[in-house]
Structure 1
């Protein structure tokens, strides 16, 4: 499903890097807009993965209805195109009840696909994918390096461990001879058909890094190690895509004896900071995204006041 311009322009979007405080700001904004929250997070779609994904809790979901959370089991795959289809179906349902669809999250690819449409591309070449997976097994990291050679724009947006999307980028280049990032740009929705209520929270770097460190410590206290243990025991096993998520991969290494717990925790903090930098790149490069400055002195209420002042509520 692709939305008509009326539905798209009725939606609000609040993006930002991990740990910036999107949840509390989104709850306040939803209450003032009479909105329901639609998750814009590629990890929140998995059931049984709550702590490492910083999924909104029961109290938060009771305060404001949330959607696009817990869509699939950890062993299942879910493409960007599938997410977009379900997202627009959900947004249409929310709007039909007189509510405002408010997308909230940090997955830049999801945000871009909602705003500009999805380039479906050629069908999967499973033989080629298996060749790439075998090569990655033999030489870890080689696929990301290859992607940087053929599509540096796409590579800059992706985490080096995001093997599914890295393989898709290489596959599209292999089948079409063109970078996936260029084909996506050619298929983009026209500016006049886009939403004007697209914002991203841009925090001070050191402030964000402190919040990231605290969040990781809280995840450990809440039971991240036990959550990953349960995922490793489940049948069928969680997919590689799910277990490559931040926090999960490092805990798997710890549980498999490849890293001490303290080392794994520091790796999560470091890689989360690196991930936040890539999120900045996504949002900064989307011309629709209006920047909202976040500092230690600005409360969520202050941010929401600015969002409403700058947004179009007509």
Structure 2
């Protein structure tokens, strides 16, 4: 059987995860996470992980919030899960909206040397003490190429600083010197892009529901770990606003409204990225039903649903 991979992506709250769960009811497939926040353990509501997690779900809630994790490590994990799905004659369906993970999946990543833990710690401490704006200025002063990065993209500017500190060479030079090697040659990328008004309405409703369930207690748990605010899990949608609410700096509804607005802005940036940065043969869909029907029409005869339990 041909080794196939389906990637179902789209902006936050687009309904891609629910679509994949419906697909899994009629297709012998494995749903593999491609969201950089849903990897974390202990925060299923805050990061909108599948509840309950079924046997078909892979790479959800398996990384400790305190652990240093990267797109490179995720790529190693996803390669393992994809190979296991192929070995089991099951279709791997990779879903999530993290551009960094999707980019590494469809384009590969450069072979940059590992960062020493002390260098990583120094960089994070400097970011914490200076703040994003001053840290970005310090980085650009040492590496003018870094001006091509967005000053609010904490992960990218931190990564660029670490690479420069570790190797003495710009991360852009490493990218040019070390061509990316695609991990897979057969990814079929499908993007769910609902109408903007429907997407924004769902973002607003979903966050209010999260706040009324366990999102606040999950953020309390993260705060108990004494994580810095620039830690990846602390940048989950709503986490910064909930922290401010718990610290008494803003009111409940103010936290809700700010988080809703920030999430809408993030979704808008995601939509732009999906339209401009994905392979030319990417397919776009405006509704859940469209993307579900497409996947089932393409793969149902090859991967008929069975009652056997997938590999754990």
User: What value does the CA root-mean-square deviation take over the aligned residues?
Assistant: 3.1
- Count of aligned pairs between the two proteins: 294
SS of the residue aligned with 1:103? strand
Structure 2 residues without counterparts, runs of 5 or longer: 303-312
Match of 2:32 among 38, 44, 65: 38
1:260 corresponds in structure 2 to 251
Task: Tell me how far apart the structure 1 counterparts of residues 30 and 177 of structure 2 sit (CA, whole Å).
Answer: 30
Task: Tell me how far apart the structure 2 counterparts of residues 184 and 49 of structure 1 sit (CA, whole Å).
Answer: 37
SS of the residue aligned with 2:41? coil
Match of 1:287 among 263, 268, 279: 279
Q: CA deviation at 1:217?
A: 0.7
1:275 corresponds in structure 2 to 266
1:306 corresponds in structure 2 to 294
Match of 1:244 among 218, 230, 235: 235
Name which structure has the greater RCO, CA cutoff 8 Å, separation 6+: 2
Asked if 2 retains the 8 angstrom alpha-carbon contact of 1:153 and 1:181, the reply is no
TM-score, normalised to structure 2, is 0.81
Task: Tell me how far apart the structure 2 counterparts of residues 20 and 185 of structure 1 sit (CA, whole Å).
Answer: 37
| Residue 114 of structure 2 is aligned to residue 118 of structure 1 | no
Report Cα offsets for 1:216-269 as digits up to 9, x if no partner. 111111121122123323xx4446222122211211111112222211111111
Task: Tell me how far apart the structure 1 counterparts of residues 256 and 176 of structure 2 sit (CA, whole Å).
Answer: 36
Asked if 2 retains the 8 angstrom alpha-carbon contact of 1:94 and 1:100, the reply is yes
Task: Tell me how far apart the structure 1 counterparts of residues 300 and 170 of structure 2 sit (CA, whole Å).
Answer: 37
TM-score, normalised to structure 1, is 0.81
Match of 2:189 among 190, 198, 206: 198
Task: Tell me how far apart the structure 2 counterparts of residues 256 and 89 of structure 1 sit (CA, whole Å).
Answer: 41
Which is worse superposed, 163-172 or 216-225?
163-172
Alpha carbons of structure 1 residues 248 and 166: separation in structure 2 relative to 1, 3 Å: same
Report Cα offsets for 1:278-314 as digits up to 9, x if no partner. 22233221225624231xxx4x333222345578988
